[in-house]
Amino acid sequence: MIRNIIIGILVIGVAGTAYWGYQEHREKTAVLIHAENSYQRAFHDLTFQVDLLHDKIGTTLAMNSQKSLSPALADVWKITSEAHNDVGQLPLTLLPFNKTEQFLANVGNFSHKAALRDLTAEPLSDKEYQTLKALYTQSQDIQNELRQVQHLVFKNNLRWMDVELALAAGDEKADNTIIDGFKTVEKTVEGYSETEFGVANLNMQKKDENFKYLEGEKITKREAVNIAKKYAGLGEDSEVKVTENGKGSDYGFFSVTLKNSNDITASMDITKKGGQPIWYLLSRDVEKQVISLNDASNKAISFLKENGFENLDMFESAQYDNVGVFTFVTNENDIRIYPDAIKVKVALDNGNIIGVSASDYLKSHHTREIPEPAITAEEARGEVNPNLQVMEQRQAIIMNELKEEVLCHEILGTLGDDTYRIFINAENGIEEKVEKLKQAEQVYEDVV
């Protein structure tokens, strides 16, 4: 009898373990499929945008009306911005692709500055038309190379997840059709001389998006593990896994995974230089809310102070189920620096920090020379819809469509039942961005 009971318990245990393993496998597979679909979409969107770019530049060459040329060049600028966004969603962080991105930045800068000009009073020069012709030819070369990669992806049913794994493992030298294809694209663009753009004085250099502003000494794997343990608080007996990424790179990082006896997992990417958290995630269920969103925001503020993040404004907060999500940006002399953004997730059951995203902050935070605005706050208000009821106004630095930092007048106001945040360029009065806010209440004090 006892023997049968023991056998029954063992069978149930094995079945339960098998079911748990099956569920884990299903969840992992779902995540991988989602990532693969995202990569495939971004790649095919990039190919489509480069096709559009080539066609649109060709259209501008055929135009004779300066009135039609400005909106056409604005379309070129928009297409390059969307292509930039698609490149940013591909797993190419460790694969040099800066020449192609610089080409897109050059095209965007040229078209943007030309589109903003009064082309009726100051039409394109012969040199600028030669630049357009060169861009048309070069975009066709890139188009052809990307189409070749696209053809091979379809023909051989290639997976982008294999690219990500190869790059993460430092195995990009292996035979990988997609990696080889993008290296060919990069080599093609490298052959273009900057003088062909004809407007080198327009500062077309691509911004370095790596962690070049980091300070501090390089850390070891052991130090990375200690940092992760400090964040996670899962105990010293946690199972540890460490992966080193970007060997030999100035912008490398350690990926640390911790798992305790209760199967709670914490994952973290930590910069080699300075030991800063790129992102952190603690995976556990948050079943019941115990603390308020306001108390959770104070937890997030204390956490940032304890970890050396200072002079921050909390400008946005939201609650998703039983988790509070708070966004902070740098405040420098009452000027908001929006590129310096950190997100913190707080569990509303016990106030633990269960998520941090500091990548944007680490890439952009540095000492800036902020110019004096050329237009006044009153003049900026004159550029917005006269029906807007202005509630708050301040100066802010944002990223424009060309990924350039620009000083703006930030105006918060209401129109009917909706609240808007509007950014007016402090140099030329252009309406850089308009955002419709999901929540009317915003926090505007310096909290960190």
Q: Of 202 and 153, which is predicted with more confidence? A: 153
Query: In 3D, which of 116, 117, 110, 114 has the Cα closest to residue 139?
Result: 110
Q: Which of 279, 296, 322 is the endpoint of a domain? A: 279
Tell me: the pLDDT tens digits for 189-238? 665 544 344 333 333 333 445 778 888 888 999 999 999 988 888 777 78
Whether 265 and 181 map to the same domain: the answer is no
Whether 263 and 145 map to the same domain: the answer is no
Q: Is residue 442 part of a domain?
A: no
Structural domain boundaries enclosing 146: 22-202
Mean pLDDT of 263-288: 87
Q: What is the C-alpha to C-alpha distance for residues 273 and 378, in angstroms, rounded to an integer?
A: 44
Tokens of 391: 């509630």
Band (283; pLDDT cuts 50, 70, 90) = confident
Q: Which of 240, 258, 279 is the endpoint of a domain? A: 279
Query: In 3D, which of 119, 61, 111, 59 has the Cα closest to residue 82?
Result: 111
Q: Is residue 302 part of a domain?
A: no
Q: Is residue 188 part of a domain?
A: yes
Cβ neighbour number for residue 119 with a 10 Å cutoff: 17
Whether 52 and 194 map to the same domain: the answer is yes
Q: Of 431 and 447, which is predicted with more confidence? A: 431
Band (304; pLDDT cuts 50, 70, 90) = very high
Q: What is the C-alpha to C-alpha distance for residues 256 and 227, in angstroms, rounded to an integer?
A: 9
The percent of residues in the chain predicted with pLDDT above 90, rounded, is 20
Residue 22 has pLDDT above 90, yes or no: no
Band (164; pLDDT cuts 50, 70, 90) = low
pLDDT at residue 373 in the model: 93
Distance from CA of residue 251 to its chain's centroid? 16
Whether 80 and 192 map to the same domain: the answer is yes
Residue 447 has pLDDT above 50, yes or no: yes
Whether 191 and 250 map to the same domain: the answer is no
Band (94; pLDDT cuts 50, 70, 90) = very low
Whether 137 and 42 map to the same domain: the answer is yes
Band (132; pLDDT cuts 50, 70, 90) = confident
Whether 50 and 152 map to the same domain: the answer is yes
Q: Is residue 330 part of a domain?
A: no
CATH code of the domain covering residue 221 = 3.10.450
Residue 340 has pLDDT above 60, yes or no: yes
Band (360; pLDDT cuts 50, 70, 90) = confident
Q: What is the C-alpha to C-alpha distance for residues 395 and 335, in angstroms, rounded to an integer?
A: 5
pLDDT at residue 397 in the model: 95
pTM: 0.58
Q: Is residue 294 part of a domain?
A: no
Band (175; pLDDT cuts 50, 70, 90) = very low
pLDDT at residue 394 in the model: 94
Whether 191 and 61 map to the same domain: the answer is yes
Whether 193 and 225 map to the same domain: the answer is no
Among the ranges given (57-61, 182-186, 255-259), the one the predictor scored with the smallest mean pLDDT: 182-186
Q: Is residue 30 part of a domain?
A: yes
Whether 36 and 180 map to the same domain: the answer is yes
Sign of CA dihedral 112, 117, 123, 125: negative
Residue 372 has pLDDT above 90, yes or no: yes
Mean pLDDT of 85-96: 65
Q: What is the C-alpha to C-alpha distance for residues 24 and 28, in angstroms, rounded to an integer?
A: 6
Which residues face 313 on adjacent strands? 329, 446
Backbone φ and ψ for 273, nearest 5 degrees, come out as: -85, 115
Q: Which of 202, 235, 250 is the endpoint of a domain? A: 202
Whether 142 and 176 map to the same domain: the answer is yes
pLDDT at residue 207 in the model: 42
Whether 226 and 256 map to the same domain: the answer is yes
**Cβ-proximal residues to 344 (8 Å cutoff; 6+ apart), any chain:** 300, 303, 304, 325, 326, 328, 353, 355, 356
Sign of CA dihedral 80, 86, 89, 93: negative
Query: In 3D, which of 194, 192, 176, 206 has the Cα closest to residue 98?
Result: 206
DSSP structural state of residue 203: -
Q: Is residue 124 part of a domain?
A: yes
What's the structural domain count of the chain? 3
Q: Is residue 261 part of a domain?
A: yes
